[in-house]
Amino acid sequence: EAQVTQNPRYLITVTGKKLTVTCSQNMNHEYMSWYRQDPGLGLRQIYYSMNVEATDKGDVPEGYKVSRKEKRNFPLILESPSPNQTSLYFCASRSPWTEPVFGPGTRLTVT
């Protein structure tokens, strides 16, 4: 089944404790992105990647890092999480000719 998977689905952590949210797709898509969803703000793009070793900032990149060492994986790294990063995070992938496919989401709480 073609899909985007994210892990973990739920995470509660404390301020300053580094964490990684993984994202993997099995559709051989070139493009991958991370979004955060906040009430009243919709979804905003954090980072995106056009292909392996090619990443760029989205609208809200502060406090986040990403890497794209393999085509199928696009992890989101929070080096020092803060409470304002409490949010629902979505990974998405697409090819140049298709609409994005979204993962199931990761609900992160930073206390």
Partner 1 sequence: GNSVTQMEGPVTLSEEAFLTINCTYTATGYPSLFWYVQYPGEGLQLLLKATKADDKGSNKGFEATYRKETTSFHLEKGSVQVSDSAVYFCALSPEGANSKLTFGKGITLSVRP
Of the listed pieces 14-22, 61-69, 70-78, 102-110, which binds partner 1 according to CB under 8 A?
102-110
Q: Can you read off the two tokens belonging to residue 8?
A: 């973990």
Taking the C-alpha atoms of residue 48 and residue 40, their distance in angstroms, rounded to an integer, is 23
When binding is defined by CB under 8 A, the residue of 78, 81, 90, 110 that contacts partner 1 is 90
For residue 88, the Cα-to-chain-centroid distance in whole angstroms is 10
Bond preceding residue 8 cis, omega within 30 of 0: yes
CA-CA distance, 21 to 57, in Å (whole number)? 17
By CB under 8 A, is residue 42 in contact with partner 1? yes
C-beta of 85 vs 106, nearer to partner 1 = 106
Site string for partner 1, 44-73 (x = CB under 8 A): xx--xxx-------x---------------
Gap between the Cα atoms of 91 and 106, Å rounded: 9
* Binding residues for partner 1 restricted to 9-38, rule: CB under 8 A: 31-33, 35
Closest distance to partner 1 from the beta carbon of 99 (Å): 6
Residue 70 CB partners (closer than 8 Å, separation 6+): 52
Which of residues 97 and 111 has its CB atom nearest to partner 1 in the complex? Answer: 97
Tell me the closest approach of the beta carbon of residue 17 to partner 1, in angstroms: 25
